[in-house]
Structure 1
Amino acid sequence: MRFPVLRATWTTQTFLHWPYPPGRVQELLPRGLTVQRYEGAAWVSLTPFVMAGARGPGARARLPGLATFPETNLRTYVRGPDGRDGLWFFSLEVTWRPMLAARALGVPYRLGRLQVTRGGDRVRYTGARSGGFPWYRLTVRPGAPITPSARDVWLTGRWRAYSRRLGVCWRVPVHHEPWTLRRATVETLEETLTVAAGLPPPSDEPVVHFSSGVGCARLGVFRPCLPRRPTG
């Protein structure tokens, strides 16, 4: 990626993944995106984390005053009109107002009240959108490192995201090192993010991962996503 528009370190990240009927997820997607399946199911993931040292083009990593803030997103896995796989975000909550600039390209950032705290061997996340709904409370206890299975890689490894604005589908590339994943046990979980997105509450226990984070995450330039031309 020659010209990243945002660099940051993503830390203290928990992934909760739930299977859903593909049709229920597809009906919430904009035209041009197709829900992806794994083991016959669509998957929706809640991922709270901390974005550290966020900076724009040309800023150095050690400059004082770089932004560090919590973020929470609810996402699903899609194939774009260009035939590539990526993420579609139902919601993204942040506490740092400059991130709202991405709404101009259809990225659904909203301001929220978010906290990430560590105590002993537990990590606690709380969040609510401005106005109080939706909200969530999550406590996890990270465990031992794992060797990722094919499903683990599929659920956590995505290198682009899609948005839609003014009838145009946009694609943004995402680069970072592979996640180092650990097992995790959920001790507390209450959330209304799925319902706010138009989904039924999850009926299955989540697949859970924890990662201490990845360094040098980079987001590239948004580009219009054109349909793939047929071959032959």
Structure 2
Amino acid sequence: MNPEVVTLSTPRPVRRSLLVQRWTDLAFLHWPVDPALVAPLLPAGTVPDTLDGVTYVGLIGFRMEGVGFLSGPGVPYLGSFAETNVRLYSVDAQGRRGVVFRSLEAERLIPVLVARATLNLPYMWSRMRLTRDGDVLTYTTRRRWPGPRGAAGEMTVRVGAALTEPTPLEQFLTARWGLHTAAWGRTVHLANEHPPWPLHRAELLSLSDTLIGAAGLPQPAGPPVSVLYSPGVPVTFGAVSRPAGDVQQPHS
């Protein structure tokens, strides 16, 4: 198995739209983590995706806007909400790189219930707030349901200069064209596409977090190795497909 090349644009254009949405005001925080610790947390048929032998855990805060089905318009009110997720990096037997969500905090209960029931995504109903003061953004969350109730996080970042050429690590962490999840008794892959990320450097001003630990991962002991910001992109999700065959740890 050879993982696909990391590309700034999708290698698999979505032919039939399942969902449309827009992600805005994203903050990406990442820490290195031992692939051996991550492997048991991934769906069957996937392994940790690595760069130079290291994989990463991401804490991503943003606002979801205009969620709509097929190519239709966004659902009023329910289709727009703040979100913070904890994610890992995966690759399947077909070489498709993706993300695996360990938790997704969202402030709208109905989208949480729908995502849990349809794709078994670990959405959590939470109190959320995203505020902006000039170039400083603060993302705040406190979990309501399900447990562990009270898992929480608050991160504040200052937006810096635009990136003209992302590093290999920055590309590896952000250029993800699908997700893997265990649903309907099997592992499935849900592809997405969007324009290349408009990325900015960012400075982490403060962080208080228990979401990573609540997701079954060691709580990071030090600062993140990568802090990025993006004003956002429109996103399209395509059809669900199933990874085929067994998979072995990729070489990187």
Fold equivalence (TM over 0.5): yes
Aligned equivalent of 1:143: 160
Give the percent of matched residue pairs that are identical in Structure 1 and Structure 2: 37
TM-superposed CA distance for 1:125, in Å, is 0.4
- Is 1:121 the equivalent of 2:140? no
- Is 1:9 the equivalent of 2:57? no
Matched residue of 2:115: which SS? Answer: helix
Question: Are the equivalent residues in 1 in contact too, given 2:84–2:104 (CA < 8 A)?
Answer: yes
Which of 4, 13, 19 is equivalent to 2:32?
19
Task: Give the residue type in structure 1 aligned to 2:230.
Answer: S
Matched residue of 1:220: which SS? Answer: strand
* Structure 1 unmatched ranges of 5 or more: none
Structure having greater relative contact order (Cα 8 Å, sep ≥ 6): 2
Which of 204, 209, 222 is equivalent to 2:240?
222
Offset from partner CA, 1:144-177 (integer Å, 9 cap, x none):
0112111111110100101002430011001101
Task: Give the residue type in structure 2 aligned to 1:125.
Answer: Y
Which of 182, 188, 191 is equivalent to 2:200?
182
Whole-angstrom CA distance in 2 between matches of 1:66 and 1:76: 27
Structure 1 residues 83 and 228: alpha-carbon distance in aligned structure 2, compared to 1, 3 A threshold:
farther
Give the total of aligned pairs. Answer: 227
- Is 1:112 the equivalent of 2:112? no
Question: Are the equivalent residues in 2 in contact too, given 1:8–1:52 (CA < 8 A)?
Answer: yes
- Is 1:82 the equivalent of 2:99? no
- Is 1:69 the equivalent of 2:88? no
Aligned equivalent of 2:115: 102
Whole-angstrom CA distance in 1 between matches of 2:239 and 2:129: 29
Deviates more, 1:169-178 or 1:93-102: 93-102
Q: CA RMSD in A?
A: 1.9
TM-superposed CA distance for 1:64, in Å, is 6.3
Structure 1 residues 166 and 186: alpha-carbon distance in aligned structure 2, compared to 1, 3 A threshold:
same
Give the TM-score, by structure 1 length: 0.91
Matched residue of 1:152: which SS? Answer: helix
Task: Give the residue type in structure 2 aligned to 1:145.
Answer: A
Whole-angstrom CA distance in 1 between matches of 2:18 and 2:125: 21
Structure 1 residues 156 and 58: alpha-carbon distance in aligned structure 2, compared to 1, 3 A threshold:
closer
TM-superposed CA distance for 1:136, in Å, is 0.1
Q: After the TM superposition, which parts of structure 1 deviate over 6 Å for at least 4 consecutive aligned residues?
A: none
Aligned equivalent of 2:228: 209
Whole-angstrom CA distance in 1 between matches of 2:122 and 2:44: 17
TM-superposed CA distance for 1:39, in Å, is 2.6
Aligned equivalent of 1:40: 53
Whole-angstrom CA distance in 2 between matches of 1:17 and 1:120: 24
TM-superposed CA distance for 1:66, in Å, is 7.1
